[in-house]
Structure 1
Amino acid sequence: MLIANGSCHLDLIIYLRATPETCLQRIQARHRSEEESISLDYLQTLHERHEEWLIHRNSTNLSIPILIVDANQTKERVYNDTNTHVENLISC
């Protein structure tokens, strides 16, 4: 793991937070053959793990700021919201 061995320095984590259902809809809309076997159960497990790690900060001692973006919105809105937050952080 990069962080564990000290070879990576993070200034910010951007968490594009979407429901497993939204993720599954987007996967199905892409029609990528390599994604056909991804199930809702798998996405729910991933979502729970990311919530534990990034929202509840369980089993980690990260002191890195986390920017949470509502990724249930349209991709244009997600892009604009993320850019706005990052620009605000850079200008500080």
Structure 2
Amino acid sequence: MYRDACRWALTLQTYVQLTMLEQHTRPQTLPVRLMERSIHSARYVFVENLYRSGRMPEVDYVVLTEWFDWITRNMDVSVDLIVYLRTTPETCYQRLQTRCREEEKVIPLVRASFSLVKGLNHHLAPEWLVKGSPMTHVFNFQVIEADHDMQKMLELFERNRDRILTSGNQKHGT
């Protein structure tokens, strides 16, 4: 996908949408469901970034959007709280390198990667959640400044733990 986004973006994002749908709809046995990402962030941040940056053809964008709209009209993929970990592009890129995911090793060097990270974290996520863009649904969200080391992040999570774990009716979370 990183080598030829125009060719592979639809394939990857269709798979992401399917796996996110599975996560949202699987039976829940615990009082809280935490997810790294949701079907909503996949659509409003990742798909939107691919389309706006010219790496996803309009026809693919329309197909994914139609599927997403059908899913949200016909299935319960609601969330009680979205926690947005706001970071600088530099921190995002450092963490991307640190986690060493095999599929991310081919991400272009710093300049191109900062452009990708900026699109995702500094423009689309805030537009989606904080600025109340017309493309968004209304979500309950919390912003946590996340340009910190692991110890400080653990302290921030602990400080925000109650709000994160008791938001809404505790059926969903992302």
Alignment of 1:39-54 (within 5 A): 39-47=113-121, 48-54=123-129
Deviation at 1:81, TM superposition (A): 1.1
One-letter amino acid of the counterpart of residue 57, structure 1: G
3-state SS of 1:68 partner: strand
Match of 1:26 among 95, 116, 139: 95
Per the normalisation by structure 2, the TM-score is: 0.45
One-letter amino acid of the counterpart of residue 152, structure 2: R
Alignment of 1:10-89 (within 5 A): 10-38=79-107, 39-47=113-121, 48-58=123-133, 59-62=135-138, 64-88=139-163
* Whole-Å separation in 2 of the counterparts to 1:50 and 1:88: 20
Gaps (5+ residues) in structure 2? 1-67, 108-112, 167-174
* Whole-Å separation in 1 of the counterparts to 2:157 and 2:140: 14
* Whole-Å separation in 2 of the counterparts to 1:30 and 1:8: 28
Q: Are the equivalent residues in 2 in contact too, given 1:23–1:43 (CA < 8 A)? A: yes
Corresponding pairs, count: 90
* Whole-Å separation in 2 of the counterparts to 1:74 and 1:12: 24
* C-alpha spacing 1:24/1:4, structure 2 compared with 1 (3 Å): same
Q: Are the equivalent residues in 2 in contact too, given 1:69–1:78 (CA < 8 A)? A: no
Q: Are the equivalent residues in 2 in contact too, given 1:13–1:66 (CA < 8 A)? A: yes
Identity value in percent: 30
* Whole-Å separation in 1 of the counterparts to 2:100 and 2:77: 34
3-state SS of 1:85 partner: helix
The structure carrying a bigger strand percent of its residues is 1
Which deviations, in whole Å up to 9, do the C-alpha atoms of 1:40-65 show, x marking residues without a partner?
11111112111110111202231x32
3-state SS of 2:72 partner: coil
One-letter amino acid of the counterpart of residue 158, structure 2: N
CA RMSD for the aligned pairs?
Answer: 2.4
